[in-house]
Amino acid sequence: MLWTTKYRPKNFKEVLGNTKAKDEISDWIDAWLIGQHPKPLLLVGPPGTGKTTLAHLVADEFADFIELNASDKRSYDILLRTVGEASASGSLFNQGLKLIILDEVDGIHGTDDRGGIRAISKIIKEGQNPLIMIANDPYSKRIKSLKSKCQVINIRKIHTNSIVALLKRICIKEGIEFEEHVLRTLAKQSKGDLRSAINDLETMARGKDTITSQDLEIISQKDEIRNIFDSVRGVLKSKNPQHIKEAMRVEANPAFILELITENIPREYEKKHEIEQAYEMVSQADTYLGRAFQTRNYGYWKYSYDLMSLGVALSKDETYKKFARYTNSSVYTLLSKSRAKRDLKDRVADKIGEKTHTSRKVAKEQFPYLEMMFQINDLARELADYFNLDDSEVKVFRSRKIPKKKKSKKSTGANKDKNSKKPSNQVKKVKSVEKIKKDTTNKKDETKRKSKADTSEKSTKKSDKSYGKRLAKKDKTAIDKSDDDTDNLDSKKNGDKQTSLFNF
């Protein structure tokens, strides 16, 4: 049995710290037991402080309980079915109350657990049963709407002294000899996370009868895998090179760390020149990552690490004394949101690349032009045929489906034959519908032509006003003259642009 389970508190008294929270929870239980219906509880606090333990102790006071956590899929339906049923059935028999525990509610996933928060709100409204929710992150957007409907109880980190005392007790019970400073170091390292302190102690001491400071080394190695956000915080909050180097000791892909630091620079730094300077460092760090990847010379990574950490850290004038909420990069959210769309585009680009002897990238560069070509029905049909695109793939280029081909003069004969098997009046109907369609399309065409004429008039007027276009004309004449001897169009053109710019 894991020590964390073995030494899990058996009653409220044994739970370390958080006296006030415990009292509030006891009052809440009492209220239920005398028939009141107080608001649900929301336990919020960092990991390893006893939230789940408390919830399970509460469960002992009720007849039964049901628990869901992050590993269960929590979409709207599933939540309502399992939890909703539980809360309804409990009230039916009225034989004692069934407690509902929802662990890690801030971990309810945006798309996978569609409507999860909505379902919880519904359960809160209807449910006749006691409900306890647990969350790590007090600032999570996901639980914002829940907070007002709950009694929020903050569970704080456990004091180092309390942790040391508990570790001592465990050592004595397990018959392990110890040096007090070792336990103290362990406790400090855990940063108020009792669970991890016990786990660390178990790693060091299992199967032995004495622990010394040497054993701490095992733990300090493990410490390297620190929360990546601690690294980000270290970089953005500090100007002390040693702290920063320490903070960067994480095992993560450097591109990912860079992305997270980059994301949070403007959340921490407020002055424009700081943001600019920090981004310059980020840009250089990224350039070294690119070089490392291209040349397979990963020696470049060290420069990248220093630039993204120390470089960014020293870009601020002074450290900010404020709480900034750090987030994951919005790029990842955008990527996952747009994935279906991007996959579709890739598929289409591959099909086009196959026919036009181009890579996916070059094929995509032609998309804007293809989009315009696809606006013409006949051409769209032809191109879709040529590239072998199905209806869903055509949507990359036009929102409407391509209408079925109008019957041309040649094909009407064949169609007549087919139609002749049907009753003749239907054929007539079809024909007359066609006529109407033709009429309307003709009219539409006329109006279109008119409107186009209008717009082209407008655009000529516009073009006179536009400097850009005037410039373009200038350049064109320049190229015209120098057609025969230009080897490098670009330099000529740019030269022209520069001079024309300074003419103004």
Stretch that binds other proteins, among 48-56, 223-231, 365-373, 419-427 (CB under 8 A): 365-373
By CB under 8 A, what part of segment 438-457 binds other proteins? 452, 456
Q: Does 358 bind other proteins (CB under 8 A)?
A: yes
Q: Which residue among 209, 318, 391, 483 contacts other proteins (CB under 8 A)?
A: 483
Cα(154)–Cα(294) distance, rounded to whole angstroms? 49
By CB under 8 A, what part of segment 241-260 binds other proteins? 255, 258-259
> Going edge to edge, which strands form the sheet with 151-154?
64-68, 98-102, 131-135, 41-44, 151-154
Q: Which residue among 218, 331, 433, 436 contacts other proteins (CB under 8 A)?
A: 331
Q: Does 344 bind other proteins (CB under 8 A)?
A: no
**How far from 308 is each of 246, 277, 496, CA to CA, in Å?**
14, 11, 40
Q: Are 118 and 76 in contact (CB under 8 A)?
A: yes
Q: Which is nearer to other proteins, 295 or 447 (CB)?
A: 295
> How many C-beta atoms lie closer than 10 Å to residue 114's C-beta?
16
Q: Which residue among 224, 391, 464, 490 contacts other proteins (CB under 8 A)?
A: 490
Helices 330-337 and 339-356 pack at an angle, to 10 degrees, of: 70
Smallest separation (angstroms) from other proteins to the CB of 117: 24
Q: Which residue among 39, 222, 345, 395 contacts other proteins (CB under 8 A)?
A: 345
Q: Does 298 bind other proteins (CB under 8 A)?
A: no
Smallest separation (angstroms) from other proteins to the CB of 372: 4
For residue 27, the number of C-alpha atoms closer than 13 Å in the C-beta half-sphere is 11
| Collapsed DSSP state (helix, strand, coil) of residue 41 | strand
Q: Which residue among 103, 113, 268, 286 contacts other proteins (CB under 8 A)?
A: 286
Q: Which is nearer to other proteins, 58 or 308 (CB)?
A: 308
Over the Cα atoms of the chain, what is R_g?
34
Q: Which is nearer to other proteins, 247 or 352 (CB)?
A: 352
Q: Does 373 bind other proteins (CB under 8 A)?
A: yes
Smallest separation (angstroms) from other proteins to the CB of 483: 4
Helices 254-268 and 272-295 pack at an angle, to 10 degrees, of: 170
Cα(38)–Cα(131) distance, rounded to whole angstroms? 10
Q: Which is nearer to other proteins, 19 or 491 (CB)?
A: 491
By CB under 8 A, what part of segment 388-407 binds other proteins? none
Cα(50)–Cα(56) distance, rounded to whole angstroms? 10
Stretch that binds other proteins, among 28-36, 37-45, 114-122, 357-365 (CB under 8 A): 357-365
Cα(355)–Cα(363) distance, rounded to whole angstroms? 10
Q: Which is nearer to other proteins, 212 or 491 (CB)?
A: 491
Q: Are strands 98-102 and 64-68 parallel, antiparallel or unpaired?
A: parallel
Smallest separation (angstroms) from other proteins to the CB of 348: 11
SS (H, E, C) 153-168: EECCCCCHHHHHHHHH
Q: Which residue among 341, 401, 406, 416 contacts other proteins (CB under 8 A)?
A: 341
Q: Are strands 98-102 and 177-178 parallel, antiparallel or unpaired?
A: unpaired
Smallest separation (angstroms) from other proteins to the CB of 128: 44
Q: Which residue among 273, 302, 429, 450 contacts other proteins (CB under 8 A)?
A: 273
Smallest separation (angstroms) from other proteins to the CB of 112: 20
Q: Which residue among 249, 401, 476, 495 contacts other proteins (CB under 8 A)?
A: 476
Q: Which is nearer to other proteins, 177 or 385 (CB)?
A: 385
Smallest separation (angstroms) from other proteins to the CB of 310: 17
Cα(500)–Cα(474) distance, rounded to whole angstroms? 9
Tokens 């060290």 identify what position? 302
Q: Which is nearer to other proteins, 7 or 374 (CB)?
A: 374
Q: Are 83 and 102 in contact (CB under 8 A)?
A: yes
Q: Where are the alpha helices (DSSP H) in 357-423?
A: 360-365, 367-373, 377-387, 391-394, 409-419
Q: Which is nearer to other proteins, 104 or 268 (CB)?
A: 268
Structure tokens at 312: 């960014």
- CA atoms 53, 58, 64, 65: torsion sign: negative
Q: Which is nearer to other proteins, 88 or 255 (CB)?
A: 255
Stretch that binds other proteins, among 35-43, 199-207, 289-297, 397-405 (CB under 8 A): 289-297
Q: Which is nearer to other proteins, 122 or 497 (CB)?
A: 497
